Amino acid sequence: MTNRDLSRSDEPTLADLGEFGVIDRVVGAAETSEPVVIGPGDDAAVLSVPTGAIACSTDALVEGVHFRRDWSTGTEIGRKAVAVNVADVEAMGATPIGITLALSAPADLPLAWLDEFAGGVRAECATAGVQLVGGDTTAGPVISIAVTALGDLAGRQPVTRGGARPGQVVAMIGRLGWAAAGLRTLSRGFRSPRAVVDLQRCPQVPYGSGRVAADAGASSMIDISDGLLADLGHVAMASGVSFDIDTSTLEIAEPLQAVAAATGGDPLAFVLTGGEDHALVATFDTAPAGWTVIGRVIEAAGEGPAVTVDGAPYEGTAGFDHFGAAR
């Protein structure tokens, strides 16, 4: 089924609304309050950041690459676009405050889809505690969404990927493997287990946990977008350390086991290599309440920084590459 098949010829589309109508429909109606001084509708938004340090991150979602309109509703795609970006600001230890949104979409996109999408964006903004401060809409051959998330460090030092120290623990909060199990489920043409499918369509980001980690002395932090092992590999490189993950500490929830059993896979692989869940993983002397210790920081051996699983290299592919190159 192509996306054209998802449009009926008699329903209103973006072409009926025009560019400014589309902007107003998605962005223009947003009400703003402190710390947003000027919201959508001017040349740029203005945000107040009294302590003077702002975190900012941009990520794009493209139809056919990151989502499919026959797998996810507009609401889910709108929520996901916000969630995956705000997670990056959380991972610096910042308090998320605002997002901007750039939306490209075909002129024959149904207005009903746009309204769902805008509703999803607003709903996730409310959940994340951020405001939609501005954006742009333009025509394009497929739906392409770029979100920039802004966060206020509020006097905290930013938590980078580069501060992990041997002897510390690796801890996580959120979910791992659910989105990958959901992707496997959808790829095979199934719609259940519903829990993993829902989390593939939109992750549950542990909002607010980033600043908790920063306040608890996190020495490094990352959000898991490409998979636990792949993303910890980035932290290992940036910190010049190695990590060892203790699989006995990893929760392999029942739906992940069910999907693995039904599709002939290893449920642990979902947890170790599945992306798109946007859990937060950080290193601490002592992990704060609510976080699960899943491993430890060790000295990098002669061959350099590495991530091992139960003391040995992991056999398998660690992550996903959008351009199809081997990692």
Of the candidate spans 4-12, 62-70, 201-209, 297-305, the one that interacts with a second copy by CB under 8 A turns out to be 62-70
Of 6, 11, 12, 20, which one interacts with a second copy (CB under 8 A)?
Answer: 20
Nearest residue (CB) to a second copy, 193 versus 203: 203
Of 77, 83, 121, 149, which one interacts with a second copy (CB under 8 A)?
Answer: 149
Is 155 a binding residue for a second copy by CB under 8 A? The answer is no
> What residues have CB less than 8 Å from 278, skipping those under 6 apart?
83, 84, 87, 174, 203, 205, 223, 224, 225
Nearest to 87 by CA among 41, 149, 166, 40: 149
Is 238 a binding residue for a second copy by CB under 8 A? The answer is yes
Of 141, 208, 290, 313, which one interacts with a second copy (CB under 8 A)?
Answer: 141
Beta strands across the sheet bearing 312-313: 220-223, 280-284, 169-173, 292-299, 241-245, 307-309, 312-313
For 32, other C-beta atoms within 10 Å of its C-beta total 18
Is 16 a binding residue for a second copy by CB under 8 A? The answer is yes
Is 258 a binding residue for a second copy by CB under 8 A? The answer is no
CB–CB of 78/99 below 8 Å? no
Question: How many residues interact with a second copy (rule CB under 8 A)?
Answer: 80
Interacting positions 21-40 with a second copy (CB under 8 A): 21-22, 37-38
Is 279 a binding residue for a second copy by CB under 8 A? The answer is no
Q: What are phi and psi of 297, to 5 degrees?
A: -90, 130
Interacting positions 156-215 with a second copy (CB under 8 A): 158, 160-162
CB–CB of 157/218 below 8 Å? no
What is the DSSP secondary structure assignment for residue 168, as one 8-state letter?
P
Interacting positions 74-133 with a second copy (CB under 8 A): 88-89, 91-92, 94, 98, 100-104, 107, 133
